[in-house]
């Protein structure tokens, strides 16, 4: 597998694994008309290329008590250190995902907390670094 280009079959394998990473290579192979070993070789290629970074779970945080799911757009105060905010983000467990963004705001955060009082506590901490706009997920549509 020296040709490192990604073809249509690779993408079909990728999407199959995104849907269910426990599919056997043989099962995937039946869909793309390849032997299981050929599929395995292509998966290894996708890993080497960095397309596939690892394997993880699809899970339901609500089931372990994380009932609040919120999105936060943060506007860091002028003159405020971005590094301090970044450290805060890294150290705070409730921040599940964080991006530096352009457009609306400076940072975008995905927050999960057990309840609204925890969320409120976090929002107060965020106010040390900047203002924010908050949206709370009511329903996962997609």
Partner DNA sequence: GGGTTTACTTACACCGTGAAAGGAGAAAAG
Partner DNA sequence: CTTTTCTCCTTTCACGGTGTAAGTAAACCC
Span interacting with a copy of itself, options 16-24, 32-40, 114-122, 123-131, rule CB under 8 A: 16-24
CA nearest to 38, candidates 4, 11, 13: 13
Helix (H, G, I), strand (E, B) or coil at 67: coil
CA distance 59 to 111: 15
Minimum distance from CB of 5 to DNA (Å)?
Answer: 7
CA nearest to 101, candidates 122, 130, 121, 142: 130
CA distance 20 to 128: 42
Under rule CB under 8 A, residue 142 binds a copy of itself: yes
Q: Which stretches of the chain bind DNA, using CB under 7 A?
A: 1-3, 9, 24-26, 29, 33-38, 40-44
CA distance 46 to 59: 24
Nearer to DNA, 51 or 96 (CB): 51
Site string for a copy of itself, 19-48 (x = CB under 8 A): xxxx--------------------------
Site string for a copy of itself, 59-98 (x = CB under 8 A): xx--xx----xxx-x------------x--xx----xxxx
Is the separation of the CB atoms in 111 and 72 below 8 Å? yes
Which chain residues interact with a copy of itself by CB under 8 A?
6, 11, 14, 17-22, 49-60, 63-64, 69-71, 73, 86, 89-90, 95-105, 107-108, 133-142
């Amino acid at each position: 597998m020296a040709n490192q280009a990604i073809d249509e079959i690779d993408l079909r394998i990728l999407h199959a694994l995104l849907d269910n990473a426990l599919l056997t290579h043989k099962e995937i192979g039946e869909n793309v008309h390849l032997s299981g070993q050929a599929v395995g070789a292509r998966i290894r290629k996708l890993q080497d290329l960095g397309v596939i970074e690892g394997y993880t779970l699809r899970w339901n945080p609500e089931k372990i008590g994380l009932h609040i799911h919120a999105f936060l757009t943060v506007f860091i105060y002028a003159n405020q250190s971005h590094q301090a905010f970044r450290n805060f983000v890294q150290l705070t467990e409730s921040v599940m995902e964080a991006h530096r963004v352009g457009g609306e705001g400076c940072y975008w955060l995905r927050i999960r907390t057990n309840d609204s009082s925890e969320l409120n506590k976090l929002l107060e901490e965020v106010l040390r670094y900047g203002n924010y706009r908050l949206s709370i997920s009511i329903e996962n549509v997609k």
